[in-house]
Structure 1
Amino acid sequence: MEKTQKWKSQFMIVALGQAVSMLGSHGVQFALIWWLAEKTSSPLMLGISGLVAYLPMTLFSPLAGIAADRYNRKFISIFSDMAMGAVALIYAGLLFFFDLPVWTVFVMLCVRGIGSTFQQPAIQSIIPQLVPKDQLVKTNGWMQLLNSGSFLLGPVIGASLYAIFPMSVVLMSDVAGAILASIALAVVKIPKLEKTAQEEQHFIAEIKEGLQVFKEDKKLFYVVIAEALCMFFYAPLSSFYPLMTSDYFKLSAMYGSVVELSFAIGMMASSLLFSSVLKINRKIRVSFIGLFGMGMMSLLCGIIPPTYVGWFFFAGGCICLGASGNVHTIPLTAYMQETISPEKMGRAFSVLTLISSVTMPIGLLFSSPIAENVGVNVWFFISGLCIMILTAGILIRYSSKCGKEKS
């Protein structure tokens, strides 16, 4: 009983610390993107902002995964958080004293992207070191629930601060979040991994070993291929959300924050179900269903008329989008944490990050000119249709190859 209480308390300290950090990050991210949307009103500029934020993931994900497996995951996570907080502090100071051009936001987003690239696989690999295998679905549900709460409150806080204070003050919430998250992780004792000979392998060999995890597990291979193809269409949508509210529906930043809030409510509701009553056995199949749901809701959001009443339907669609994303992500993360050996987990998660980080910039390069010319709502429709077709096609293939095995 005492052992059970110990891992639970340690997990909650880490999870709450990360939630506070994400709260500050989501608030600042919303304020920065809305600031950019108001100043430029350009899908292309917002596309570039997403590109520079995700490009570091493309370049550094393999290195981040190897670092998470080879070095101290706790140190990597704390250092990354504090580095991102320091960047926010420096940029806040420069904004306070100087009238900086808009493009300087891209520099900040790029540096923050590097920190996030190293932090994510480290944290994802720490969780199974703290949590028993049979509790991973629930604990991932709790992690997503706290993340959803950050999504829920972050944009509201960001919009409120943006309406009252200059951007230099808004950025300080990110600094505070990074400090608190680092303190929370610092007080938790993370069990050490046993050192293996694999740690001395060549860099390229370690990257190949991370890829081999997916090649050896056909169930995992199919769902990751589906995610990679679908993210090409879906990932750019996150950069276009502000323009759906400001340009398509012609509404203010507060309405934009409500859209983000709606997305977070969907995430929170689904996370709560996963962390409490839902018991998932066939995790990969459920992950496919979530991916298909993301496509269906994107398509529906793209055909909503640009009226005030239409905006309420858009907000409702965003609730379902947030829920579908968790239905895809939570079972997939739990499956990976259950089946992949601890010494390879960082590399495996970094490969997943690499896939999304590669598809995001390519998708933005492809989608931004289209959205610029025909409207962001049309891209919502196109992306939703393509995601549904791709998911259905790969699910049929998956069922014929792996259908007899429980996943």
Structure 2
Amino acid sequence: MKKNKNQQNKWKRDFLTIAGGQTVSLIGSAAVQFSLIWWLASETASPIMMSIAGVFAFLPQLVLGPFAGVWVDRINRKTVIIAADLFIGLVALVFAFFFLFGNPPYWSVCMVLGIRAVGTVFHTPAIQAAVPMLVPQQELVRANGWSQFMQSGAFLLGPVLGAAMYTALPLWIILLSDLVGALIASATVAVVKIPDPERQVKQRPQLFHEMKEGAAAICQDRKLFIVTAATLVGMVFYAPLSTFYPLMTSGYFRADAWHASMVNLGYATGMMLCALILGKFGTIKNKFPVIHLGLLGMGASSLLCGLLPAKMVWFWVFAALCALLGASSNLYNIPYIAYMQETIDPDKMGRAFSLIGSLSSATMPLGLLIAGPVAESRGVSLWFFVSGIALLLLTSVSALLVLPQSRRV
């Protein structure tokens, strides 16, 4: 009994040590990201330049994600995590010198956002693949709940900290906070022993063959494949909503920036509350009903947002629905990640997570190509309604195909 208790305390201590360090790093990165974007916006006031910056920020995941997964599965994951963290910190350090000795050209900020994103492409799947090597299988939902709670808090606190630092400090000092966070995160990973999966020895990388193995790990699981396919199609409709939230606040409800911050706060609070609940009561044996419940919550919330009248009194209902959207997204995401960590072979997990990340990144530009003209001509509220209908239909089809099978297992 005492031995089991010591083992349980050990995995919790190791996991929370790494998660705590990563949270500190995320806060610094979010503050730096906010400051760079705000500097670019205030200096250029150019929507085109902001769009280019956005493209540079997500393009590495779209292009490099599947290849990065191959290397994550070939190299010691602890090494990948530390190297990626330090790479991001060193990029910030180098760029800090540009601001220290003058104002760099605007395009250089886009380049830095893109280069920093390269580190994230390797870092995210390495962390996701390392978690099941530390955490007992039955505790994966709880561990991911804790992780998502801390990440949601970091993404909420980071921009606030970035805004405060931006008004009080020169930008080169703000950039150094990214390096400090990276050093802290690397130190917490370094002190924890992360077992690596057994791998077949491969002399030379066979990138496309190994990428196919990652895809096969998803496709061979019929339930996982159906849910993933339905979600990715749904994200084409749902992903553009992140761009339309400010437009709903300012254009549809005629509210101000303070109200816009309430929407962001509500969404992040919903994510944190759901993550906290799953972290506390997170032992879920059959994950697919919970996954579909999260998707249904996202669809229903989006649909209701699109039906709200354009009157200020309804704005607070919109803010509440955004909190429900945030909670629903974690209700889907946490058990989905835990299921992948439980069922996919550890030596293929990096490739599987990288592939999902790349496909998810592709949904945003594809969705904006479709949603942009519709929202421009018919209003953003219509796209909330369309997104909700699409998610509800796709989730219903997925549930009909997956849930009867999951009950028999």
TM-score over 0.5 for the alignment? yes
Would you say the 8 A contact 1:41–1:243 is kept in 2? no
Q: Which amino acid aligns with 1:392?
A: S
> What's the counterpart of residue 226 of structure 1?
230
1:244 is displaced (CA, Å) by 4.3
1:214 is displaced (CA, Å) by 1.5
1:281 is displaced (CA, Å) by 2.3
Deviates more, 1:260-269 or 1:28-37: 28-37
Would you say the 8 A contact 2:139–2:282 is kept in 1? no
1:148 is displaced (CA, Å) by 1.8
Deviates more, 1:143-152 or 1:173-182: 173-182
Q: Which amino acid aligns with 2:120?
A: S
Unaligned 5+ segments in structure 2 are: none
> What's the counterpart of residue 391 of structure 1?
395
1:129 is displaced (CA, Å) by 0.9
TM-score, with structure 1 as normaliser: 0.88
Would you say the 8 A contact 1:155–1:260 is kept in 2? no
1:299 is displaced (CA, Å) by 2.9
1:201 is displaced (CA, Å) by 5.9
1:284 and 2:288 correspond: yes
> What's the counterpart of residue 18 of structure 1?
22
> What's the counterpart of residue 73 of structure 1?
77
Residue correspondence of structure 1 range 17-166 to structure 2 within 5 A: 17-33=21-37, 47-100=51-104, 102-165=106-169
> What's the counterpart of residue 178 of structure 2?
174
Residue correspondence of structure 1 range 253-268 to structure 2 within 5 A: 255-268=259-272
Match of 1:204 among 205, 208, 213: 208
1:359 is displaced (CA, Å) by 1.8
Match of 1:366 among 367, 370, 390: 370
1:343 is displaced (CA, Å) by 1.0
Deviates more, 1:271-280 or 1:25-34: 25-34
> What's the counterpart of residue 405 of structure 1?
408
> What's the counterpart of residue 333 of structure 1?
337
Would you say the 8 A contact 2:286–2:406 is kept in 1? no
CA distance in 1, matches of 2:13, 2:305: 40
CA deviation vs aligned residue, 1:257-306 (integer Å, no higher than 9, x gap): 44322222111111111111243222123212212211222233344456
Unaligned 5+ segments in structure 1 are: none
CA distance in 2, matches of 1:98, 1:253: 31
Q: Secondary structure at the match of 1:192?
A: coil
Deviates more, 1:171-180 or 1:220-229: 171-180
CA distance in 2, matches of 1:306, 1:30: 30
1:101 is displaced (CA, Å) by 5.5
Paired residue total: 405
Aligned sequence identity (%) = 46
1:226 is displaced (CA, Å) by 1.3
> What's the counterpart of residue 188 of structure 1?
192
Would you say the 8 A contact 1:267–1:319 is kept in 2? yes
Distance 1:256 1:46, change over 3 A: farther
Q: Which amino acid aligns with 2:386?
A: I
Match of 1:351 among 333, 348, 355: 355
Q: Which amino acid aligns with 2:348?
A: K
Would you say the 8 A contact 1:141–1:330 is kept in 2? yes
Q: Which amino acid aligns with 2:85?
A: D
CA deviation vs aligned residue, 1:156-197 (integer Å, no higher than 9, x gap): 223333454455444443333222211211221212332324
Distance 1:230 1:9, change over 3 A: same
